[in-house]
Chains A and B, each alone.
Chain A
Amino acid sequence: MRKTASRSWSVLFQKYRYLVLVSYRRASTYRGAYLLSLLGNIVRMVAFLALWSATISTGADRNGFSRQSLLTYVLLAFALDGLLSFRTESTIANSVRTGDVVSDLLKPLDHQAMHFADALGMVLVEGLWLMIITAVLGFLWIDMIYPTDAATIAAFLFSVCLALIIKFDLAYLTGVAAFWLTDVRGLIVTRSTLAGILGGAYFPLEFLPDTVRRVLDLLPFAGTTAVPARIFTGQIAGSAIGLALARQLLWAVAMWLAARFVWKKALRKVTIHGG
């Protein structure tokens, strides 16, 4: 009698939801370690904000930003950049390097979905803390602006979800590159820096020449940070929101499929290390 894995969406949903939960619990176990790394982030965040608020004059209108909306953008972009950090790619890359990827492959789970569930569990922990820190800095220091109507808030949250998918797939692709590269540390740093700059995590893309900005808006990176941050600050409003979300959704689907394709390719040539 042969068993087959269930194809029912509800069973699959349950399985992966459980994985998210377990990952959340595992991540919370190392609260101390995480808080320490968060402390470093807070210091950078404060330094960044201080720099920006010192260099821009009150009331000046810079590339469509008021002082308030610019500081809000910087703060929010920083928080979004902190979500879904290095863990996905280093976990996958390490599992390939040591050969432990075998353990992943022995389970009746989709490799990509399994690691996505793992990343989401971590995001729940990171997200909670980042939200608290952003709110504290935002309200006590820079007098942050925020959306008040339900539609914009919903659009922002949806945009964050899409951003997580795109970010995850970028990270997943970087991790899977370990099948070809053995040591991907350089690639991980390059990936995160490039995605940060091109995605508008370090400064608003509006500060770049118009043509450059328009090209960047078409790339997937903008969907990781700039789009949700712009929706939050009101740079994208009204009917433009629909278009921005559609573009982001398209990238989320395309990146998911691309990552899948590369993983399948990697499996065919896989050399499992360590005998």
Chain B
Amino acid sequence: MSLILAEDLTKVYHVRGKPQPNQGVWKGIRIFSRRPKQTILAVNHISFQIEQGEMVGFLGPNGAGKSTVVKIMSGVLVPTSGKVEVNGLIPHQNRIDHAMNIGVVFGQRTTLWWDLPLRDSFELLRVIYEIGQEDYRKSLDWLADMLELGDLLDRPVRQLSLGQRMRAELAAALLHRPAVLFLDEPTIGLDVAIKQRIRNSLRELNHKWGVTLLLTTHDIRDIEEVCGNLIVIDKGQLVYDGSLASFRDTYCDKRVIRVALKDEPTAGELTQDTLPNVIQAERNGPWVTLYYRQSKTTAANIAGYVMAHYPVTDLAVEEPSIENTVADLYRGKLL
């Protein structure tokens, strides 16, 4: 059985909209007008499964419903309809037991006690999560070492920088050795080195403890470096659910090769030419960008053909960019 299961998961928010404009002075005053109720379909019949030990990236544009799904999964929000099960429990119905088995990090919030030294926050978590002294010491040693927390333990949380705080948050979410870790934008606002540190730690964690991981992010590299699988949602709906490799094959089929020619007129000629398997050509000065489909031909074929027929001075084959693909996906170009 899957560790995480969502079936037809739906969440509707009811909010009061703005009062209708142009209804006269009296209507403009709030107590005289009833603002119409609006419903927002934040999550729209989403189904997916995650197996034990999987590391899944959860991707979607702002407002797609990622955080809502994470909150339902962690037992904080009650879904409007549909089924959700994590670790054999229905999160919102068994919130307290469920909390014993999951770790959650929200990149934009703190779950630590602002005015306590980090060590005291951890000690408090030990009591709350009923962790034995021996287990606690082992986990803390290991986490402090991996996340480089040694010097920070005696500082109050309010004095920590964002990067230090995020590492502390991660440790706090893991002290009780949860089976599942939910991360909502854990690398937001962090510098490259700390992002790298966190990604490495997540991999190590999965390897050593077998933690199942669900990670939402806007940084595609988080997903490329950590996750084997990918779930993409947009406007509350599931857009993609599968492995990162097959995502690349399916959606990053369009590749790019750039060639520089000896002058601009020649570059213009190349742009006009019909090259085998090239689906599009763009010129910028002496540089020409050629688009082709990976499934139809190879970079070598195209480069060979162009070099045989044109005076090429420079040439670059670009890595397929998941980032661009995802951006296209968000803009609805691919589907």
A residues adjacent to B (C-beta < 8 A): 1-6, 11, 14-15, 18-19, 22, 25-26, 29-30, 99-100, 102-103, 105-110, 267-272, 274-275
With contact pairs A2-B88, A4-B100, A22-B113 given, residues A15 and B128 touching in the complex (Cβ less than 8 Å): yes
The reply to whether A26 and B116 form a contact with Cβ atoms under 8 Å apart is yes
Closest CB in chain A relative to B104 CB, distance in Å: 5
CB pairs A–B below 8 angstroms (21 shown): A1-B179, A2-B88, A3-B100, A3-B101, A3-B176, A4-B97, A14-B127, A15-B128, A26-B113, A26-B115, A29-B115, A30-B115, A105-B95, A107-B99, A108-B96, A108-B97, A109-B128, A270-B76, A271-B13, A271-B14, A272-B77
B residues near A (Cβ < 8 Å) are: 13-15, 63, 67, 71, 74-78, 87-89, 95-97, 99-101, 104, 106, 108-111, 113, 115-116, 120, 124, 127-130, 176, 179
Select one of A5, A15, A106, A270 contacting B127, CB under 8 A: A15
Q: Which of B15, B88, B95, B113 contacts A271 (CB 8 A)?
A: B15
Q: Which of B63, B96, B100, B109 contacts A102 (CB 8 A)?
A: B109
Q: Write the chain A residue with the least CB distance to B125.
A: A107
**How many angstroms from the CA of A79 to the CA of B96 in the assembled complex?**
37
Minimum C-beta distance from B216 to chain A (A): 11
- Residues of chain B within 8 A of A1, CB atoms compared: 179
CB distance from A12 to the nearest CB of B (A): 10
Kindly state the separation between the CA atoms of A159 and B96 in the bound complex, as whole angstroms. Answer: 32
Residue of A nearest to B176 (CB): A3
Other A-B contacts than A2-B88, A18-B124, A275-B63, 10 sampled, CB-CB below 8 A, are: A2-B97, A3-B97, A3-B176, A11-B130, A22-B124, A30-B115, A102-B106, A106-B74, A106-B99, A107-B128
- Complex: A106 Cα to B74 Cα, angstroms: 7
Complex Cα distance, B116 from A275, in Å, reads: 27
Contact status B76-A102, CB under 8 Å: yes
Q: Are B109 and A268 within 8 A (Cβ)?
A: no
Complex alpha-carbon distance, A176 and B36, angstroms: 24
B75: A residues at CB distance < 8 A: 105-106
Which residues of chain A come closer than 8 Å to B176, judged between CB atoms?
A: 3
B111 A103 Cβ-Cβ under 8 A: yes
- Which applies to chain A's interface (DSSP): helix, strand, loop or mixed? loop
Count A/B pairs, Cβ under 8 Å. 86
**Bound CA–CA A270/B129 (angstroms):** 25
A231 CA / B14 CA spacing, docked (Å): 49
B109 touches A100 (CB 8 A): yes
A110 to B115: give the CA distance in the assembly, Å: 22
Q: How far is the CA of A6 from the CA of B176 in the complex (A)?
A: 14
- Residues in A neighbouring B108, C-beta threshold 8 A: 274-275
Q: Which residue of A lies closest to B124 (CB)?
A: A22
- How far apart are B316's CB and chain A's nearest CB, in angstroms? 39
B120 contacts across to A, CB distance below 8 A: 22, 25
Select which of B13, B76, B78, B179 is within 8 A of A106 by beta carbon.
B76
The 10 closest A-B pairs by CB, nearest first: A108-B99, A103-B111, A3-B100, A18-B127, A105-B76, A108-B96, A4-B97, A108-B100, A5-B96, A275-B67
Chain B, Cβ-Cβ closest to A270: B77
Residue among A6, A14, A102, A267 with max Cβ neighbours from chain B (10 Å): A102
Given A103-B110, A108-B96, does the pair A270, B87 have CB atoms closer than 8 Å?
Answer: no
**Beta-carbon contact of B111 and A2 below 8 Å:** no
C-alpha spacing A102/B100, complex, angstroms: 15
Closest-by-CB residue of B relative to A3 is: B100
- Closest Cβ of chain B to A265, distance in Å, is 11
Output the least CB separation between A65 and chain B (Å).
44
How close is B27's CB to chain A, nearest CB, in angstroms? 21
Residues of chain B within 8 A (CB-CB) of A18 are 124, 127
Task: For B78, give the chain A residue with the smallest CB separation.
Answer: A268
**Residue of B whose beta carbon sits closest to that of A23:** B113
Cα of A258 to Cα of B139 in the assembled complex, Å = 40
Query: Contact between B97 and A5 (Cβ–Cβ < 8 Å)?
Result: yes
CB closest residue in chain A, given B127: A18
Nearest residue (CB) in B for A267 is: B78
Closest-CB distance, A268 to chain B (whole angstroms): 6
The distance in angstroms between the C-alpha atoms of A6 and B116, with both chains bound, is 26
Residues of B close to A30: CB separation below 8 A: 115
Q: How far is the CB of A255 from chain B (nearest CB, A)?
A: 22
In the assembled complex, which residues on chain B have CB atoms less than 8 Å from the CB atom of A5?
96-97, 99-100, 130
- Whether B76 pairs with A272 at a CB distance below 8 angstroms is yes
Q: In the complex, A275→B108 CA distance in Å?
A: 10
Instruction: Provide the bound-state CA to CA distance between A27 and B246, in Å.
Output: 55
Q: B128–A2 contact, CB under 8 A?
A: no
CB distance from B3 to the nearest CB of A (A): 11
When distances are taken between beta carbons in the complex, the residues of chain B under 8 Å from A25 are 116, 120
Asked if B124 and A106 make an inter-chain contact with CB atoms under 8 angstroms apart, the answer reads no
**Chain B residues near A274 (CB, 8 Å)?**
108
